[in-house]
Structure 1
Amino acid sequence: MENTAEYQCAYCGEPNLTFVDLSAGEYQSYVEDCQVCCRPNILYISIDPDRLEIDINSEYEG
């Protein structure tokens, strides 16, 4: 099951939309390029399984 969530680019601060696979576990992390500045962001995702709320934090890669 997939859902969308928004995160703020760690480099340029612009909002980005990403897909989150809810079946991949409560805690996930992966690298995704910003849709605006194309720089890589490490996304740390936590999902509340009871409410299906998604929390995303991003940081610089490297």
Structure 2
Amino acid sequence: MPPTLLAAETVRPTEAAINDQIRTLMNHPASAERTEEYVRLLTLWARAGTVVAGRCGELGGH
């Protein structure tokens, strides 16, 4: 399976970019590697959401 374009340590991807990577990943056959990559992408997605939520809070939004 080819590696995804998003690197956890070097890029702060948006939730939309991560969603696109997850959709692409789901087109690959089920495997341990796909599961590991899915977990990694979900972790990135959660971090991206946390960053956005934190910034909204700083600006007085919800």
Query: Normalised by the size of structure 1, how large is the TM-score?
Result: 0.24
* Greater RCO, 1 or 2 (C-alpha within 8 Å, sep 6+): 2
**Rg comparison, structure with higher value:** 2
User: Which protein is richer in strand relative to its size?
Assistant: 1
